[in-house]
Amino acid sequence: MSGSIKFSCFAEKALLSDGWARDVLIGIDDDGRIASLKRGAASGEAERLAGPVVPALADLHSHAFQRAMAGLTDVAAGGDDSFWTWREKMYDLVARLAPEDAEAIAAKLQVELMKGGFGRVVEFHYLHHGADGRPYDDTAEMSLRILSAATTSGIGLTLLPVFYAHSDFGGAAPTAGQRRFIHDVDGFLTLLHRLVQPCRTAGARLGLAIHSLRAATGDEIANILDAVPDHAPVHIHVAEQQREVEASLAHSGRRPVERLYDIADVDSRWCLVHATQTTTAEVRMIAASGAVVGLCPTTEADLGDGVFPAVDFLAAGGRFGIGTDSHVGTTVVDELRLLEYGQRLADRRRNRLASTAGASVARTLHDAALTGGAQAAGLPVAGIAVGASADLVVLDGASPYLSGETGDAILGRWLFGGIGQAVRDVMVGGRWTIREGRHARDGEIDAAFAAALTRLRA
Ligand SMILES: [Zn+2]
């Protein structure tokens, strides 16, 4: 139920859940939800928004701490650089991160994501323990740092504590570089239970993740899923790298996506992150299951993962959302543009992800990422609709690229026009977090981030 209206905003142009509308009065209640929408309304006393309004998207895949190494790993090691050599550099960072570093980096990242057009982040959080692998006095110490960062930044948060127990298929022992990630099933369930109340207090949603089929056995996955509510989102990295496919085949005779569907009832609560290495049959199986595929185009390009067969997946009715993962990109533009461009480069054709004549690619991608992202984040209602969280992005109405445009051309200009910073204001849960491109706490958040980087360089 929506409560009484606390305040209203007026948008000349707004992308509602059923399409573009003019002169929209958006009523927002005490809980930060949209309580009413009136089209063709007068602005009256409402705050007049300074440009076209679109729904903020959920970033469905983040490892916040990796933002600290963005741009520092592009140094050749001698011709054989890969995901796996990148991972060693990431483990070097993991070994040195203190809780205060993780919090400072996450707060900075979350502000950047909002400036990039996201209103929520789904944090796939696997850095749990101290540098020596021993749990902190409070087993949830590192998770609470992510919650605290989200309170500082004001971003919407879906927290996914990650189960991680092994280094490879077949229950192989973890490596030294993985010791901060490791739980047994009971320890992981204790962590989940510990986080229920803090997430409730902070207004965050709580789901869970299985790191990958390398990191968990089929029995462990089954035991965890038996013990948690069946409505919570479940995410997993799957089929990102060809080496994972080979290891899966060697272990079980099944490819990773096949193996996952063998051992779990994969349905709409699931998000399959990457799923890059998939066959046509697997693409159809994922689409039919209702699971969301979590595509992270800038990271997948950065790591040389490959190109997800998105044209086939959409043709099969598949659902996807976008994530910024390692955060070499932090904007909706970066991810959606590269998603489409990757398909164009592979296929040597244009406009690959909108198949109907006259359909806007930008609109098609934005709509899909909105609904897929909301599903993966565990949100019951997506977009600018009555009952949804008031998560709004106001684009810069003063930009000459945007001021005269209407309808999907606005999204086209923003996502494919290369017009620079177009996100002006962002509202999350009925509260302004970004105003005129700035966060009220930019100064302190930047200072804490810089101090964390200084400590990590030492
Ligand atoms: Zn990831």
Query: pLDDT (tens digit, 9 = 90+) per residue, 205-239?
Result: 999 999 999 999 999 999 999 999 888 999 999 99
Pairing of strands 156-163, 438-439: unpaired
Within a domain: residue 197? yes
Give the active site residue among 29, 302, 325, 425: 325
**What pLDDT is attached to residue 442?**
98
Are 80 and 159 in the same domain?
A: yes
Main-chain dihedrals φ then ψ at residue 156, nearest 5 degrees: -75, 140
Give the active site residue among 128, 237, 274, 327: 274
- CA–CA distance, 22 with 406 (Å, rounded to integer): 10
- Which residues, 6 or more positions from 379, have their beta carbon under 8 angstroms from its beta carbon? 58, 120, 205, 388, 389
Question: Is 325 one of the catalytic residues?
Answer: yes
48 with 14: CB under 8 angstroms?
Answer: no
Q: How far is the CA of 61 from the centre of ligand 1 (A)?
A: 6
Are 308 and 418 in the same domain?
A: no
**What pLDDT is attached to residue 3?**
67
Q: How far is the CA of 241 from the centre of ligand 1 (A)?
A: 12
pTM over 0.85: yes
**What pLDDT is attached to residue 1?**
47
What the block records as the tokens of 47 is 């705050």
**What pLDDT is attached to residue 84?**
85
Q: How far is the CA of 455 from the centre of ligand 1 (A)?
A: 25
Nearest-CA neighbor of 50 among 440, 388, 331, 422? 422
Are 264 and 327 in the same domain?
A: yes
Q: What's the CATH number where 290 sits? A: 3.20.20.140
Pairing of strands 19-29, 34-38: antiparallel
Q: How far is the CA of 22 from the centre of ligand 1 (A)?
A: 39
Are 305 and 395 in the same domain?
A: no
Q: How far is the CA of 89 from the centre of ligand 1 (A)?
A: 15
- CA–CA distance, 387 with 17 (Å, rounded to integer): 12
Q: How far is the CA of 323 from the centre of ligand 1 (A)?
A: 9
Nearest-CA neighbor of 446 among 67, 95, 33, 48? 67
Are 163 and 294 in the same domain?
A: yes
Bridge partners of 160, per DSSP, are 124
Instruction: For the beta carbon of residue 332, count every other beta carbon within 10 angstroms.
Output: 26
Are 47 and 64 in the same domain?
A: no
Q: How far is the CA of 256 from the centre of ligand 1 (A)?
A: 16
397 with 403: CB under 8 angstroms?
Answer: yes
Within a domain: residue 166? yes
Provide the domain count of the chain: 2
Which residue positions in the chain have pLDDT lower than 70? 1-3
Domain that holds residue 369: 57-377
Are 300 and 415 in the same domain?
A: no
Are 298 and 181 in the same domain?
A: yes
Q: How far is the CA of 299 from the centre of ligand 1 (A)?
A: 9
**What pLDDT is attached to residue 76?**
87
Nearest-CA neighbor of 383 among 39, 19, 113, 7? 19
Question: Is 101 one of the catalytic residues?
Answer: no
- CA–CA distance, 310 with 89 (Å, rounded to integer): 30
